[in-house]
Amino acid sequence: MSASNNNDSVGLVTPQTAVFDEPLELACGRHLANYELVYETYGKLNQERSNAVLICHALSGHHHAAGYHHADDKKAGWWNECIGPGKPIDTNRFFVVSLNNLGGCHGSTGPSSSNPETGKSWGPDFPSLRARDWVNSQARLADLLEIGCWAAVIGGSLGGMQAMRWALMYPERIKHCVVIASAIKLSAQNIAFNEIARQAIVSDPNFNNGNYLDHNTIPDKGLALARMVGHITYLSDHAMASKFGRDLRSGTLETGTDDDIEFQVESYLRHQGSQFSGSFDANTYILMTRALDYFDLAREYNHDPVQAFEQAKCSFLVVSFSTDWRFSPQRSREIVDALIAANRPVSYAEIEASEGHDAFLLPIPRYLEVFAAYMKRVGGSL
Amino acid sequence: MRLDLAHIQRWITPGSRVLDLGCGDGEFLQMLESQRQVNGLGLEIDAENITAAISRGLNILEQDMDKSLANFPDQSFDTVIMAHALQVLHHPDRVLEEMLRIGRECVVTFPNFGHWRCRWHLGTRGKMPQSKFMPYSWYDTPNIHFCTVKDFESLCGEKGIRILARETVGNSKRKPLLASRWPNLFATTAIYHISR
């Protein structure tokens, strides 16, 4: 489906750039003197400026969540299934803001941007970021767009963490918080997978301690490997079995033959890895995975998620997927249980889906129904 | 409104926190929110019901009360309601205990298997009763733990559960006396307001 023949799409969109000159204090103790955020908007802001919805992206996401950049684009934005006219985040009703997070590599200020103090790219010297830094920078973007209060802040995975952080940091500026396939904090197993990804990157000889741009190289092999590991964890055993099984792409396992053998799953993973390494910055990947690892919603609330959520004033929708083992339903239930104990309004659905963590990006009918039903409620209370 | 639900509503303090176990599509909880201004939360396992209840603007959790209610803190709700679900539970006694741990007061309603029609059916035909009210065959029914008014009250006695009030719904709206005088024989639905 391309941009021109799709009437449930937001159609052609043009990214915009917001420039900020007021320094942003960061959780790491450093600050950014100035920075840029690239964002897109879909739908129209109403007169009361009350129908704005913020989309927070996950690890490898960006601002292009819906629609198409060019009339001949084959692929729509990464959450096109959920954002558009008549879709759960209905652009006939909502004004949707989707940005590339600070530290990203799709136009917002990040490690591959130029450091004004040196004139060279930041590289590994770019300040480390936490989810709260993203939330603060998103609040600045809201100020710029004159959005006093979001009708909803919505995110999956790492995006869900930002949405929850919004609810605690700016309780007066968010009415609904939608947290999909997320967690209060990562498990040791999750951190371990992220560390393998980082090690794959830093072990690439082209990494040059992160200064690869100065050497006119990129650690594409390491980044591809990092993505391959990550990708496995986003799929379920069942999803991989039904997509690839043990099918061979080339060669044969007949006895008496000694061909080169390639399984379909090998070829698929390599393809995913190389595609990703051509379009993503290695330092950003390291920065984002660290932000994921460091996130702990309740850290400054005596490590008590109930105390943390007592700061919130919004309503919550929490959604998980049955075969997601990276952010399992159990992690989502921890969020729900803390919200119940904090006596905060919450709805929870556990969607039966075979696709693993990736399910949150896919058009699973029951998921879209629940999401749409909740967003209808959000729209009804504008 | 179903008569049992009308009775329940009278026992709900305005503005209180209410947990509705097996809330269906949330019709009753929505009524409690609008007429009693309760802070409501529903539990449900049916996907369509969950979507419908969310559409009503209710707070609904997808959770199976038969598996566990351990995630609800002690005495965290003013009233816990379970309407017409007791008989489908694997562990009705344990769920009752959990309800009384979570809520200061509880409301339980169930179909009375001691009703004379059930007895008549079993007595004269020698077969498990089937009716408009209990339409299932014995081998394919969600109702695995039927009980009578007497059964329920003995369970309350054994577990030290206080019965604050009992209401009944009978076959005949014109003769509610029969059901309230001889509930075990004439009540089709029993409605209990209980606490520790």
Using one digit for the tens of pLDDT, what is the confidence trace for A212-237?
A: 999 999 999 999 999 999 999 999 99
d(CA A339, CA A323): 23
Q: Which residues contact residue A172 at a Cβ distance below 8 angstroms, ignoring those fewer than 6 apart?
A: A149, A313
Chain A's closest residue to B102, CA to CA, is: A341
Q: How far is CA B115 from the centre of its chain?
A: 17
d(CA A240, CA A352): 17
| pTM attached to this predicted model | 0.95
d(CA A306, CA A337): 8
Nearest CB neighbour to A366, from listed B47, B61, B63: B47
Phi, psi of A323 (to 5 degrees): -100, 15
Per-residue model confidence (pLDDT) at position A6: 65
Find, among A341, A333, A342, A314, the residue nearest to A169 by Cα.
A314
Using one digit for the tens of pLDDT, what is the confidence trace for A277-289?
A: 999 999 999 999 9
For residue B5, pLDDT beyond 60: yes
- For A138, the 3-state DSSP assignment is helix
Give CA separation, B78 vs B58, B60, B146, in Å: 18, 17, 27
Helices (H), ranges, chain A? 131-144, 158-169, 188-202, 220-234, 237-243, 264-277, 282-294, 305-309, 329-341, 365-380
Q: Which two tokens stand for residue B149?
A: 């008014």
Per-residue model confidence (pLDDT) at position A3: 53
Per-residue model confidence (pLDDT) at position B180: 83
Q: Considering chain A, what percentage of its residues have pLDDT values greater than 70?
A: 98
Per-residue model confidence (pLDDT) at position A257: 85
Q: Which two tokens stand for residue A52?
A: 């704005």
Q: Is B70 on the interface with A (CB under 8 A)?
A: no
Using one digit for the tens of pLDDT, what is the confidence trace for B38-52?
A: 999 999 999 999 999
Per-residue model confidence (pLDDT) at position B3: 75
d(CA A96, CA A39): 10
Would you call B71 and A333 a contact, using CB atoms and an 8 Å cutoff? yes
Q: What is the DSSP string of B155-177?
A: HHHHHT-EEEEEEEEES-SS-HH
Average pLDDT, chain A: 96
Find, among A310, A298, A376, A317, the residue nearest to A344 by Cα.
A310
For residue A33, pLDDT beyond 80: yes
- Interval A175-180 mean pLDDT: 98
Q: Considering chain A, what percentage of its residues have pLDDT values greater than 90?
A: 95
Bridge partners for B21 per DSSP = B43, B82
- Interval A156-173 mean pLDDT: 98
β-pairing, A346-351 with B17-21?
Answer: unpaired
CB pairs under 8 A between A and B: 51
For residue A337, pLDDT beyond 90: yes
Q: Which two tokens stand for residue B26?
A: 């949330």
Written as one letter, the residue type at A134 is W
d(CA B191, CA B196): 17
Nearest CB neighbour to A373, from listed B39, B55, B63: B55
- Confidence band of A5 (pLDDT split at 50, 70, 90): low
Would you call A346 and B73 a contact, using CB atoms and an 8 Å cutoff? no
Find, among A209, A356, A220, the residue nearest to A276 by Cα.
A220
Q: List residues of A with catalytic annotation.
A: 157, 324, 357
Nearest CB neighbour to B59, from listed A341, A346, A381: A346
Using one digit for the tens of pLDDT, what is the confidence trace for B143-184?
A: 999 999 999 999 999 999 999 999 988 877 666 788 888 899
Written as one letter, the residue type at B54 is I
Q: How far is B48 from chain A (nearest CA, A)?
A: 9
- Cβ-Cβ contacts under 8 Å, A376 against chain B: 55
Chain A's closest residue to B71, CA to CA, is: A337
CB neighbour class for B39 (10 Å; exposed up to 12, middle 13-18, buried from 19): middle
Q: How far is B111 from chain A (nearest CA, A)?
A: 29
CB neighbour class for A205 (10 Å; exposed up to 12, middle 13-18, buried from 19): exposed
- Cβ-Cβ contacts under 8 Å, B39 against chain A: 343
Q: Which two tokens stand for residue A58?
A: 């996950």
Q: Is B71 on the interface with A (CB under 8 A)?
A: yes
d(CA A83, CA A78): 10
Sign of CA dihedral A5, A367, B143, B106: negative
Would you call A347 and B59 a contact, using CB atoms and an 8 Å cutoff? yes
Chain A's closest residue to B73, CA to CA, is: A341
Q: Is B72 on the interface with A (CB under 8 A)?
A: yes
CB A285 within 8 Å of CB A196: no
Q: How far is A88 from chain B (nearest CA, A)?
A: 12
Place of tokens 């792409």: A249
Per-residue model confidence (pLDDT) at position B1: 61
Phi, psi of A144 (to 5 degrees): -60, -40
Per-residue model confidence (pLDDT) at position B174: 64
Per-residue model confidence (pLDDT) at position B175: 66
- Cβ-Cβ contacts under 8 Å, A346 against chain B: 41, 59, 61
Give CA separation, B124 vs A42, A93, B116, B129, B152, in Å: 69, 62, 12, 11, 25
Using one digit for the tens of pLDDT, what is the confidence trace for A232-272?
A: 999 999 999 999 999 999 998 888 888 899 999 999 999 99
d(CA A310, CA A322): 28
d(CA A289, CA A287): 6
Can you give A39-102 as a three-state secondary structure string? Answer: EEEECCCCCCCCCEEEEECCCCCCCCCCCECCCCCCCCCCCCCCEECCCCEECCCCEEEEECCC
Instruction: Count other Cβ atoms within 10 Å, centred on residue A142.
Output: 21
C-alpha Rg value of chain A to the nearest Å: 21
Would you call A348 and B62 a contact, using CB atoms and an 8 Å cutoff? yes
Give CA separation, A73 vs A3, A5, A80, A366, B12, in Å: 7, 12, 13, 29, 58
Find, among A340, A333, A346, A313, the residue nearest to B76 by Cα.
A340
Per-residue model confidence (pLDDT) at position B4: 78
